[in-house]
Structure 1
Amino acid sequence: MWYTDNQKVKRWMMMSISPKIMKQYIRLTITRDIWKSLSKAFYDG
């Protein structure tokens, strides 16, 4: 169940960003890691 949910969220996240950016994060397997990496790269606060 966890794996399936993780994959759904990962797919949603990957489809929400440009292909150029996606290439940098597609290999991460856990959505939490993707989210943290994207936050570090793009958060401006």
Structure 2
Amino acid sequence: MKQELKKLTYKIASGILLNSAKKEVNSSCFFIGYQPEIPDTAKKLRKF
């Protein structure tokens, strides 16, 4: 039971993090001079 709960928690957390990364990669910073570098692995999630 404990292992199943741990796997479910990891699955939910990874889904949330993946969606958040997709949203961040496909948007730009609205502040004038600050755009942090995007890791190469995150660049693969771009839609364009």
Q: What TM-score bracket applies, with the shorter chain setting the length?
A: 0.3 to 0.5
Give TM-score, length-normalised by structure 1: 0.40
Q: Which has more helix, going by share of residues?
A: 1
Give TM-score, length-normalised by structure 2: 0.38
Larger radius of gyration: 2
